[in-house]
Structure 1
Amino acid sequence: MVLEEIETSLIMWFSYALIPCLLVDGVAVLPAPQNLSVQSTNMKHVLTWSPVIVPEEIIHYSVEYQGEYESLYMSHIWIPSSWCSPTQGPECDITDDITATVPYSLRVRATLGSLTSAWSTLKHPFNRNSTILTPPGMEITKDGFHLVIKLEDLGPQFEFFVAYWKREPGAKEHVKMVRRGGIPVHLETMEPGAAHCVKVRTFVKAIGRHSAFSQTECVKVQGEALPLALALFSFVGFMLILVAVPLSIWKMGRLLQHSCCPVVMLPDTLKITNSPQKLISCRREEVEACVAAGLSSEELLRACI
């Protein structure tokens, strides 16, 4: 009884170990990968398949593609994928291989040492115009009274149409085209106390398609008194500067004038009250008379005046 159980276990283990390998004309080969499909979202294309399982072994896969040009003008040549020849995982990013909007055939095979499976081909050729386009992620911020948006960077093939408006009856919707994501973009200057709304969708020129619009997001700037007060204080400060600067310059000039050229008060005896012509109007006879009388020079001067 025990021997029979051991024998059964050995047979089951041996069969399990050889399940992944088949004998074709006496030669062991690997089964081909199955269930090939392409998942494509926002121009990112990934080929997937069901893995080939061999216990305690690592299976490698090779991926090749054939576009319209290779099929028509290059004798149906197959080109190895840029990133997946070979690869270990049951998937391959073929975005860089799909460079034109034409049908592409794709195929995969498994390799284990010297064992190689047959090629398994995608059932229906893939065309990148079937990619699923989704609205981009967006981040709306306020920089003072400025409405700023930052969009998700989806790659160089994407352009963005941003619609924005003030939320009020009869408001006009504005549309701005943004050519790349990942950088902040100024949309408009917001009015205090008013809500401003934004929505966005993508456009891919290579396939001539656009996504649906994103969910609408609105922002609002609160408080109008503070900006008015700041404007008032700024105006008053500007007027004070206009008055204070000329006054300071005049005052400084006066101080410099008094410091460099002070005003000196003359004694009364040195002050001239009559004109110079009158000082020489004394007649010669009067001067001689004064001299004869013995008057001093100061009395003589007073007599002449």
Structure 2
Amino acid sequence: MKHVLTWSPVIVPEEIIHYSVEYQGEYESLYMSHIWIPSSWCSPTQGPECDITDDITATVPYSLRVRATLGSLTSAWSTLKHPFNRNSTILTPPGMEITKDGFHLVIKLDDLGPQFEFFVAYWKREPGAKEHVKMVRRGGIPVHLETMEPGAAHCVKVRTFVKAIGRHSAFSQTECVKVQGETLPLALALFSFVGFMLILVVVPLSIWKMGRLLQHSCCPVVMLPDTLKITSSPQKLISCRREEVEACVVAGLSSEELLRAWI
């Protein structure tokens, strides 16, 4: 969408020639009595070309003309043979840069201005692969397309679209990139899954067991032996002297009990 008018230069030895460019659109031709408007960038100019992009602002036919000036001498106007309409512009495929950030496929497009949109097609290079299309509204910034599979090649192509003239460019040359590496084997994947499940079980059990150990270490529960437990009221305890206890023991055991105890 850059429109440049060029012409054959007038050659005068040791002299500098200036040129003036004018344009006439459909509005000027039909409603303003065929007036000509000087180009905003090339009235005058020294080079044999003029960027008329800012003058061609509508999708209508434009007439263009140029003349040369040397001091007080001025040539006749040279007029474009056929009016120019910007919808006849042949759009060229945009430049692109394909990079990989780890396993991420990233594209950066040329910044062609606010009128351009980009249609990016990308796919995994394999039989029967589905082609995905992503629209990018602005160039000049990196855009993430997809996450690539290790060991697989991924391909990209792009074309432009200008809504003002309703035209597409051709697709650019296809470029492919590949991430080195192989996919994890099934056995390794299963092993990783089993290890993960074991961690989920062992870690909570270990935390619970450690808590129990800390509880018993810091605050142990002491069980009194039965001999130290008082089963009756202290007032009912009978204090016996040693002689009385021995007498009670001797008196309380029969001959059969003594024999059985000895055996």
Map 1:224-243 onto structure 2 (within 5 A).
Answer: 224=182
**Structure 1 stretches lacking a partner, 5+ long:** 1-42
Q: Name the CA distance, whole Å, in 2 between partners of 1:268 and 1:201.
A: 94
Question: How far is 1:300 from its partner?
Answer: 31
1:294–1:150 distance in 2 versus 1, CA, 3 Å: same
Task: Give the equivalent residue in structure 2 for 1:114.
Answer: 72
**Structure 2 stretches lacking a partner, 5+ long:** none
Whether contact under 8 Å (1:287, 1:304) holds in the other structure is no
1:290–1:159 distance in 2 versus 1, CA, 3 Å: same
User: Deviations along 1:174-194, whole A, 9 cap, x unmatched?
Assistant: 222222211222222222222
Question: How far is 1:95 from its partner?
Answer: 0.7
CA RMSD of aligned residues (A): 6.7
Q: Name the CA distance, whole Å, in 2 between partners of 1:300 and 1:99.
A: 132
Q: Name the CA distance, whole Å, in 1 between partners of 2:56 and 2:256.
A: 122
Match of residue 101, structure 1, among 52, 59, 63: 59
Whether contact under 8 Å (2:150, 2:183) holds in the other structure is no
TM-score if structure 1 supplies the norm length? 0.64
User: Deviations along 1:149-195, whole A, 9 cap, x unmatched?
Assistant: 11122222211111112222222222222222112222222222222
Q: Which runs of 4+ in 1 moved over 3 A?
A: 225-305
Question: How far is 1:106 from its partner?
Answer: 0.8
Q: Name the CA distance, whole Å, in 1 between partners of 2:254 and 2:162.
A: 118
TM-score if structure 2 supplies the norm length? 0.73
Q: Name the CA distance, whole Å, in 1 between partners of 2:49 and 2:259.
A: 127
Whether contact under 8 Å (1:290, 1:300) holds in the other structure is no
1:220–1:264 distance in 2 versus 1, CA, 3 Å: same
Of 77-86 and 235-244, more deviation after overlay is shown by: 235-244
Match of residue 205, structure 1, among 159, 163, 173: 163
Question: How far is 1:55 from its partner?
Answer: 2.5
1:264–1:72 distance in 2 versus 1, CA, 3 Å: same
Q: Name the CA distance, whole Å, in 1 between partners of 2:148 and 2:218.
A: 58
1:127–1:283 distance in 2 versus 1, CA, 3 Å: farther
Corresponding pairs, count: 263
Q: Percent identity?
A: 98
Match of residue 273, structure 1, among 228, 231, 239: 231
> Is 1:49 aligned to 2:12, yes or no?
no
Q: Name the CA distance, whole Å, in 1 between partners of 2:178 and 2:138.
A: 26
Whether contact under 8 Å (1:287, 1:300) holds in the other structure is no
